[in-house]
A and B are shown apart, each in its own frame.
Chain A
Amino acid sequence: YPVNGDREEEDSNMDLVQRYLENYYNLTKKVENIYRRRDSSPIDNKIREMQKFLGLEVTGKLDSSTLEMIRKPRCGVPDVGHFT
């Protein structure tokens, strides 16, 4: 019985959304671990920005519809900002 199964899935989803926000919403890479350890609000704000842009319900949380949208095929050009 995988005791940490839910936690692993949560981490994997979090990695996925962070990469998405870095690629398309100008989330700064170097501070990602600080966000994850100490303060999740910058990432929540970026999730909100992404949800608003893509026409999802704005919750600031990594809900199922947000995850589903992240997994859809898309154009590689950022939605916010520019190629960096």
Chain B
Amino acid sequence: TFPGTPKWSKTHLTYRIVNYTPDLPREAVDAAIEKALGVWKEVTPLTFSRMDEGEADIMISFAVGEHGDFYPFDGPGAILAHAYPPGSGIHGDVHFDDDEKWTEKAAGTNLFFVAAHELGHALGLMHSANPEALMYPVYRSFKDLASFRLSQDDVDGIQFLYGSPTTPKNNYVAPTEPVPPRSKTPAKCDPALSFDAVSTLRGEILFFKDRYFWRRSHWSAEPGLHLISSFWPSLPSNLDAAYEVSSKDTVFVFKGNKFWAVRGNEVQAGYPRNIHTLGFPSTIRKIDAAISDKEQKKTYFFVEDKYWRFDEKTQSMERGFPRPIEDDFPGVEPKVDAVLEAFGFLYFFSGSSQYEFDPNAKRVTHIFKTNSWLLC
């Protein structure tokens, strides 16, 4: 934070776009600023509304050279923008150097990225020394705009000032404009907790939920909660499925009709790929859960009430599939969120329940709460 830790004393802030750059259509500027505010809105109780005239908390403008604050811009390159910490008058304001070539794309100087950074200052964050952080002072070009996520460092910083998003607001729906549900930090001991996906990774177990995952390792009794983006910045949140092929030291993660391969903390080149390259028919839009049998080198994909089997050796879907889940995994709920193999059992996660399935006896041996793995 800035010296003295200045922050807004209210959670609803106003902003005004005072003028526009000629580099972009007005709508593109509006969208970039709105998206940049959304980055911070998602992880705090803060809300924003736009003003078209008068003095807003955050006044956003484009300027060149000396522009009235004794911190002149310097032409193309070098300084891209600056912003002031929370407070009255010029404080909280954001200035962009209009000698830059502002773009909506990864090439050039992307307005959204710079705006998200500067708005971090306007909310009270100073520069971070963490090169992964949005608040790192040096501009980096991002290859994949869609995959942008705040780092844990940014989230920790802003939540130090304003706290986490509050539950009542998440459920609040304005009479005229619906507010999309936001991703709050999941509570591991919430009795209703469900997982998006579960996978092993080099002997650890990862439990994915929204933008986060719990990491249960041999080295720590307490599962640690991390942002997916802090390990794999280009991966999406709200995953559908994940599984490890330990012989390839690779975890495959699925969302929608795409999947990615990650090795350690590196997303492999050539991904994402389309799930239909695995042999699924075009009617399959997403995978619910997946697990790889390392002995037989087969991967099981669960989709609605059926499952498919993929041969890792021939890299092809096996004939005779899909089959109904209930035929071969009797007692398991047909809609599977995630599946994990441990201690010779398969653990099927479905909502807040977890079914321990003995593959030899072909029956469910226990039913637990989903979060039993998180020591709840």
Contact = CB atoms under 8 A, between A and B. Distances in A.
B126 A77 contact: yes
Nearest to B114: A75
Contacts, number: 64
A78 B83 CA distance: 10
B83 A77 contact: yes
A74 B78 contact: yes
Interface in B86-119: 97, 100, 109, 114, 117-118
B82 A76 contact: yes
Contacts of A2: none
A49 B131 CA distance: 15
B255 to A, nearest CB: 31
A67 interface: no
Interface string A53-84: 11100000000000001011111111101110
Nearest to B73: A76
B137 A73 contact: no
B127 A75 contact: yes
Interface string A9-28: 00000000000000010000
A25 to B, nearest CB: 11
Contacts of B84: 83
A53 B81 CA distance: 20
Interface residues of B, number: 26
Interface in B271-322: none
A13 B118 CA distance: 28
Nearest to B118: A75
B79 A76 contact: yes
Contacts of B126: 77, 79
Interface residues of A, number: 18
B3 A76 contact: no
A50 to B, nearest CB: 10
Given A75-B127, A75-B139, A77-B121, A82 B3 contact: yes
Given A75-B82, A79-B137, A53 B129 contact: yes
Given A55-B129, A75-B117, A76-B80, A83 B139 contact: no
Residue in B2, B118, B137 with the greatest tally of chain A CB atoms within 10 Å: B137
A76 B205 CA distance: 42
Contact of A74 (B121, B129, B139): B139
Interface of B: 2-3, 71, 73, 77-84, 97, 100, 109, 114, 117-118, 121, 126-127, 129, 131, 137-139
9 contacts: A73-B138, A74-B138, A76-B71, A76-B73, A76-B80, A76-B81, A77-B127, A79-B129, A83-B71
